[in-house]
């Protein structure tokens, strides 16, 4: 298993006006996510391994839904989980928020992994209405209004 000395995850958020939806891709170190899920739910988690179970995926979805969400036009909008894949030691998850006809405000709240590691940084890269923005969210500063 590869050891990494920095703690970060990357979240790409793209608004696609033609399809009236927000597309989200998260890239999280799989060992960090497994550790966070184990601490939160007190069960062994094997995401991204040959021993992964259906419960591991359920716990992952539940954990991410609690820790990472978007308020579109001041309303929390649930993300639909589409799929996931593992690349090296990174778990890549794909989500979507459908039926977004326009965005006048977008607030991001992301405290994933920060409750057990104060060094965790969640990097947000967003393209909303053609405007690119990047933000770094931390354990102390995990909310940001982008638009």
**Where does residue 3 rank: exposed (0-12), middle (13-18), buried (19+ CB within 10 A)?**
exposed
Structure tokens at 80: 């639909």
Give the HSE-up count for residue 34: Cα atoms under 13 Å, Cβ half-sphere. Answer: 15
Task: Please enumerate in sequence order all residues whose Cβ is within 8 A of that of 26, keeping only pairs 6 or more positions apart, or say none.
Answer: 9, 10, 11, 12, 64, 68, 91, 92, 93, 95
Given this model, what pLDDT does residue 3 score?
Answer: 60
Q: What is the pLDDT of residues 69-103, one digit of tens each?
A: 999 999 999 999 999 999 999 999 999 999 999 99
Q: Enumerate residues 6+ apart whose C-beta is below 8 A from 118.
A: 138, 139
Kindly state the percentage of the chain with pLDDT values over 90.
90
94 vs 5, more confident = 94
- Residue pair 28/91 in contact (Cβ under 8 Å)? The answer is yes
The residue count of the chain comes to 147
Residue with the larger pLDDT of the pair 42 and 129:
42
State how far the Cα of 15 lies from the Cα of 28, in Å rounded to an integer. 21
């Amino acid at each position: 298993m590869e050891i990494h000395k920095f703690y970060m995850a990357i979240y790409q958020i793209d608004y696609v006006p033609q399809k009236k939806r927000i597309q989200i891709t998260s890239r999280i170190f799989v060992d960090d996510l497994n550790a966070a899920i184990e601490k939160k739910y007190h069960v062994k988690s094997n995401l991204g391994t040959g021993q992964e179970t259906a419960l591991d995926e359920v716990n992952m979805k539940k954990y991410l839904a609690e820790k990472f969400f978007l308020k579109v036009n001041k309303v929390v909008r649930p993300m639909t989980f589409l799929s996931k894949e593992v690349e090296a030691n990174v778990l890549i998850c794909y989500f979507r928020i459908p039926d977004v006809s326009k965005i006048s405000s977008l607030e991001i709240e992301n405290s994933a992994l920060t409750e057990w590691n104060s060094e965790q940084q969640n990097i947000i890269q967003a393209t909303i209405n053609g405007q690119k923005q990047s933000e770094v969210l931390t354990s102390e500063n995990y909310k940001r209004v982008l638009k």
